[in-house]
């Protein structure tokens, strides 16, 4: 993109020479106007706002320094090259104060001036590229903060809006309103219990990619994975948002129906909210409203039941809170709270109890070695497995197996 320049000098021959001798087009500069006085230049700059100004110092009525002073007070940021036949230090000092780029003495060396202009255009382009990069970084940061804020609200991890960092709240427009489309993969939790971590990730990436494709042209849209198998699409509620939201919901329904068609165990359910709100705690209320609209949506207790089933099928793995919470799509701390309140024991207590029950069953019904049984219940070291087993049953695994065999023998003798 070409830069623009204005030439200001009270001597017409100099203006003509500046216009004709210098290769402006080759330098990527367009002359937007000339002026023969400071007053004339002020009016023209107010209209064209040039990137560069070549300006004489000594002019009648208003000299170049006075012109520059007024331009700077008005906020004009053009780069200025001063032209003068007077080599006086006071001029140079004043020019520096007004952030003048160059101070060139007449008679003008046009070759030198061309070199300085080429250097200046490179500097301007570089500065603009850096400014544009910074602007994009700021936009990305604001979008990230906004997305994080909304995700935490929808996941229930930020019930109190005052807990939002100051810089986050500053990026959320107070006057804008947003609406939400809730996308739920019904049947996901039960269907995906046996999936590996990679399978979960691949499936969610595919769905998220589909949603992103459908919303990428919608200004102000955000997609947040509220929890596994569930997404919230937040849209800016500008004029005509109802039609756009309904059309988007229909496209999402068709796209996900096609994705889920290969597996009838899941189906897509789309709910469009009907009330625009701010991006604060109000959107949490609207999310809960959308949940209530979907009567077939699993309750929290059903989520916990699914989580327990998932844990039961992964007893042989080094399963942690983070992995199960990630499978549900919520934070570890929130999962701990939900689990303890609904199950009555902690995650570790539940896993230990289930592993010990399974170990006891294997000891009493198989001839597996104690090491193999330990590995099958998530304990890679026999010594540690034996320690946990003893603490739970008050006897060693070998003693438990022996006592069970005696009990079985006695029972068989009683029936013979």
Last residue of a domain, one of 276, 296, 316: 296
* Cα separation, 53 vs 376, whole angstroms: 80
Asked if 19 contacts 34 with a C-beta cutoff of 8 angstroms, the reply is yes
Q: Given this model, what pLDDT does residue 350 score?
A: 94
| Domain span at 242 | 149-296
* Cα separation, 87 vs 105, whole angstroms: 7
Residue 137 falls within a domain, yes or no?
Answer: no
Tell me: do 270 and 173 sit in the same domain.
yes
Residue 135 falls within a domain, yes or no?
Answer: no
Q: Given this model, what pLDDT does residue 166 score?
A: 37
Task: HSE, CB side, 13 Å, CA atoms: give it for residue 3.
Answer: 24
Residue 58 falls within a domain, yes or no?
Answer: yes
Tell me: do 98 and 169 sit in the same domain.
no
Structure token pair of residue 237? 């509620």
Asked if 82 contacts 93 with a C-beta cutoff of 8 angstroms, the reply is no
Tell me: do 346 and 373 sit in the same domain.
yes
Per-residue pLDDT of the chain in tens (416 residues, 90 and over written 9) = 789 999 999 999 999 999 999 999 999 999 999 999 999 999 999 999 999 999 988 888 888 888 988 999 999 999 999 888 766 556 666 666 777 887 788 888 999 999 999 999 999 999 999 988 888 887 777 777 778 888 777 777 665 444 444 344 444 445 678 888 889 888 787 787 777 778 888 888 888 999 999 988 887 788 988 877 888 888 888 888 888 888 899 999 998 888 887 766 788 888 888 788 887 777 888 877 777 765 455 567 777 887 888 888 888 888 888 888 877 767 788 788 889 888 999 999 999 999 999 999 999 888 999 999 999 999 989 999 999 999 999 999 999 998 887 766 666 556 55
Angle at 53 between CA 52 and CA 58, to 5 degrees: 160
CATH code at position 291: 3.30.70.270
Last residue of a domain, one of 84, 108, 132: 108
Residue 113 falls within a domain, yes or no?
Answer: no
Tell me: do 182 and 252 sit in the same domain.
yes
Tell me the pTM.
Answer: 0.53
Residue 182 falls within a domain, yes or no?
Answer: yes
Residue 124 falls within a domain, yes or no?
Answer: no
Last residue of a domain, one of 54, 83, 108: 108
Tell me: do 324 and 290 sit in the same domain.
no
Tell me: do 81 and 219 sit in the same domain.
no
CATH code at position 384: 1.10.10.60
Tell me: do 406 and 385 sit in the same domain.
yes
Q: Given this model, what pLDDT does residue 162 score?
A: 44
Tell me: do 164 and 222 sit in the same domain.
yes
Residue 120 falls within a domain, yes or no?
Answer: no
Tell me: do 206 and 253 sit in the same domain.
yes
Residue 115 falls within a domain, yes or no?
Answer: no
Tell me: do 41 and 19 sit in the same domain.
yes
305: left (phi over 0), alpha (psi -120 to 50) or beta: alpha
The domain total for the chain is: 3
Tell me: do 284 and 153 sit in the same domain.
yes
């Amino acid at each position: 993109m070409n830069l623009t320049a204005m030439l200001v000098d009270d001597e017409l021959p100099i203006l003509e020479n500046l216009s004709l001798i210098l290769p402006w087009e080759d330098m990527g500069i367009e002359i937007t106007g000339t002026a023969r006085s400071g007053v004339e230049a002020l009016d023209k700059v107010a209209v064209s706002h040039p990137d560069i100004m070549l300006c004489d110092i000594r002019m009648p009525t208003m000299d170049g320094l006075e012109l520059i002073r007024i331009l700077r007070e008005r906020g004009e940021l053009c780069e200025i090259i001063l032209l003068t036949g007077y080599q006086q230090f006071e001029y140079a000092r004043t020019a520096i104060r007004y952030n003048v780029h160059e101070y060139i003495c007449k008679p003008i060396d046009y070759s030198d001036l061309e070199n300085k202009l080429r250097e200046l255009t490179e500097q301007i382009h570089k500065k603009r590229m850096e400014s544009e990069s910074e602007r994009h970084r700021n936009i990305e940061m604001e979008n990230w903060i906004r997305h994080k804020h909304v995700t935490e609200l929808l996941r229930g991890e930020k019930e109190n809006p005052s807990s939002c960092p100051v810089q986050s709240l500053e990026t959320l427009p107070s006057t804008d309103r947003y609406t939400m489309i809730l996308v739920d993969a019904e049947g996901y939790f039960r269907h995906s219990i046996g999936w590996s971590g990679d399978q979960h990730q691949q499936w969610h990436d595919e769905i998220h990619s589909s949603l992103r494709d459908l919303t990428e042209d919608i200004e102000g849209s955000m997609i947040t994975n509220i929890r596994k198998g569930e997404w919230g699409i937040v849209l800016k509620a500008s004029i005509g948002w109802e039609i756009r939201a309904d059309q988007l919901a229909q496209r999402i329904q068709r796209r996900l129906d096609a994705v889920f068609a290969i597996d009838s165990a899941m189906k897509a359910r789309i709910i469009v909210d009907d009330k625009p709100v701010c991006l604060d705690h109000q959107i949490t209320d609207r999310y809960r409203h959308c949940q209530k609209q979907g009567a077939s949506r699993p309750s929290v207790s059903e989520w916990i039941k699914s989580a327990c089933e998932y844990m039961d099928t992964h007893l042989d793995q080094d399963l942690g809170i983070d992995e199960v919470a990630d499978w549900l799509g919520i934070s570890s701390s929130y999962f701990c709270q939900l689990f303890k309140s609904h199950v009555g024991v902690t995650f570790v207590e539940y896993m230990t109890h289930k592993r010990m029950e399974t170990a006891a069953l294997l000891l009493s019904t198989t001839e597996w070695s104690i090491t193999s049984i330990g590995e099958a219940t998530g304990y890679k070291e026999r010594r540690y497995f034996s320690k946990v087993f003893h603490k739970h049953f008050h006897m060693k695994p070998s003693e438990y197996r022996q006592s069970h065999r005696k009990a079985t023998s006695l029972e068989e003798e009683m029936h013979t």
